[in-house]
Amino acid sequence: MLIYQIYPRSFKDSNADGIGDLRGILEKLPYIVRLGVDAIWISPFVKSPQKDFGYDVSDYCDVDARFGTLNDFKKLLAEAHKNRLKVMMDQVWCHCSDAHPWFIESRSSQKNPKADWFIWADAKPDGTPPNNWLSYFGGGAWAWDTTRQQYYFHQFLESQPTFNLRNPALRKMILQTGKFWLDLGVDGFRLDAIHTGFADPSLRNNPARPKKMAVAPDVPKDIPQARQIRQYSEGHKDTLAFLEDIRKLANRYGATLLGEVGGENPLARAAMYTGKKRLHMSYTFSLLKGKPDAASFAQSVVLAETTKKSDTQFCYALSNHDVMRVASRWGNARTALLFGLSLPGSYCMYQGEELGLQEADVPFEKMVDPFGLAFYPKFKGRDGCRTPMPWSKWQGQAGFSAARTTWLPISDEHKELAVDVQEQNKESHLHFARRIIAWRKAQPALQGDGFKPIKTKGDMIAFERMDKKQRLHFVFNVGNASANYKIPPNASLVYEASIGVLPQKDSLVLKAMSCAVFAIKPVKRPKNRG
């Protein structure tokens, strides 16, 4: 499956308020269909105070007025289905907003029907929090509530209290909100940070991270949480039963579940969370930081594909709304896109990836991401990958909005890569993206999970994809200098899927950040005449 992620605030504004919306997505649906993707994943558009831009939900069953109405979503859903495009919703089921009625009631007293719908704990005798757990967004993960005279746990912002998903009444209610959208015809859910839903019930302290131990890929190295091993604050085994409950609901509708999985050993955890009774597929942050070298490729893709269970499928991603854009990390957007599309399983493209957009430089005075504001300038947060889509070089606000200002500024560099500019150039990245997506769909070897890593030297990454009908050999030079690569036996270069290569007699030269694809002809064995 090829999934296209839409960050609705930044996709297309239809009502000139500077914020993208559902009608804007509907307007640009033909553009998405033409890309050739199978599904869209829409980041949160339900009611929210927007302190974390939709990932702080205050009503799970209604559309936030900034994005439109429930009727707007129904129209979008119907049009998508008319064009054979599946629609996946972001579901934030491990925490909510402190403005949600469930939390307002829970914090009102220590004895009410929803008193234990969230994780509450008494202070230590000296008044300090119950343990040393830290928040993803900086500082301690406990906030004091003066009414209850207790601390509540928050994995992210203080305004995002973490659910106590061990409460059966809460779990039933959460599944009811999922049923609401499935009844409308939604085709699946992307489950946000699903590894953060269950913590150690004994609230044991997390151990300190040894200095030589690598930081987990889902956390910036310069924040306090990076100094801990998150052994007890997330990823408890009780998560599995919750996933199985969600899967039972999804099975009733034939819906697909995609989980965002992070933590200390994300690949092992993603494999554990995925299978016949749990998620259909999972993705991690393994390929969302920096650019891969042979070692990191072995630790992410090779390890995942060679150790996974037969009923497990991973969904790979090189960009999303939480990380620096892949064009800036890799330096060659075409090579990066081909790399992602050639991996086994499913692939998730982030809006603008098909345009080759680089990370935008948002000045401090225009930043809005609370994560970035807290750690600037060491960490600039997520604003740079969330700036509005450039639809037109010549229209105001790059064709994104008719407003005088937009929620994040338009990047001047992005205007040069606007859709209308690239449409006029058959050699543009947009046209390349469409061609390579169509090529991917036409290759039998890329439809299944057939995968074999190839040993290489230096800055080369190589692997083969195969099925009964076809065998493809991929090689990527992810280094900063040209390198030679010996052409495999019985191989012919696939020119439409090769970038920056110079064929020689029995080898080829791959320029820095380039790639080559070979079709391997089957060897005909002589018939046994005996």
Quickly list H helices, 150-223. 168-184
Q: Active site includes 359?
A: no
Alpha-carbon distance 406 to 16, whole Å?
Answer: 9
**Structure tokens, 199:** 């913590």
Q: Which residues neighbour 297 within 8 Å (Cβ) at sequence distance 6 or greater?
A: 461
- What's the pLDDT score for residue 293? 87
Residue 245 · residue 189 · CB < 8 Å: no
- What's the pLDDT score for residue 374? 93
- Judged by phi (left if over 0) then psi (alpha if -120 to 50, else beta), residue 110 lies in alpha
- What's the pLDDT score for residue 287? 94
Q: Where are the beta strands (DSSP E) in 85-133?
A: 86-91, 120-121
Alpha-carbon distance 274 to 258, whole Å?
Answer: 9
Q: Is the dihedral of CA 382, 385, 391, 392 positive or negative?
A: positive
Residue 151 · residue 107 · CB < 8 Å: no
Strands 188-191 and 256-260: parallel
Type of residue found at 190: R
Alpha-carbon distance 174 to 61, whole Å?
Answer: 10
Q: What is the dihedral of CA 62, 55, 299, 442, to 10 degrees?
A: 40
Task: Please calculate the CA angle 513-516-521 and round it to the nearest 5 degrees.
Answer: 165
Q: Active site includes 192?
A: yes
Task: Please calculate the CA angle 196-201-205 and round it to the nearest 5 degrees.
Answer: 80
Alpha-carbon distance 122 to 130, whole Å?
Answer: 7
- What's the pLDDT score for residue 505? 85
Scored b (16 or more CB within 10 A) or e, 147-174 reads ebebbbbbbbbbbbbbbbbbbeebbeeb
pLDDT in tens, the chain (530 residues): 999 999 999 999 999 999 999 999 999 999 999 999 999 999 999 999 999 999 999 999 999 999 999 999 999 999 999 999 999 999 999 999 999 999 999 999 999 999 999 999 999 999 999 999 999 998 999 999 999 999 999 999 999 999 999 999 999 999 999 999 999 999 999 999 999 999 999 999 999 999 999 999 999 988 999 999 999 999 999 999 999 999 999 999 999 999 999 998 899 999 999 999 999 999 999 999 888 888 889 989 999 999 988 888 999 999 999 999 999 999 999 999 999 999 999 999 999 999 999 999 999 999 999 999 999 999 999 999 999 999 999 999 999 999 999 999 999 999 999 999 999 999 999 999 999 999 999 999 999 999 999 999 889 999 999 999 999 999 999 999 999 999 999 999 999 999 999 988 889 999 999 999 999 998 666 566 55
Q: Which domains does the chain have, with CATH numbers?
A: 2-97+166-441 (3.20.20.80), 451-520 (2.60.40.1180)
- What's the pLDDT score for residue 524? 67
**Which among 115, 169, 175, 171 is positioned nearest to 145, based on CA atoms?**
115
**Which among 213, 249, 261, 208 is positioned nearest to 230, based on CA atoms?**
208
**Which among 173, 140, 175, 167 is positioned nearest to 154, based on CA atoms?**
140
- What's the pLDDT score for residue 527? 62
Neighbour-count burial of 369, counting CB atoms closer than 10 A to its CB (0-12 exposed, 13-18 middle, 19+ buried): buried
- What's the pLDDT score for residue 526? 59
**Structure tokens, 315:** 């969904």
State the catalytic residue, choosing from 218, 260, 353, 383: 260
- What's the pLDDT score for residue 522? 82
State the catalytic residue, choosing from 56, 192, 353, 383: 192
* pTM confidence score: 0.96
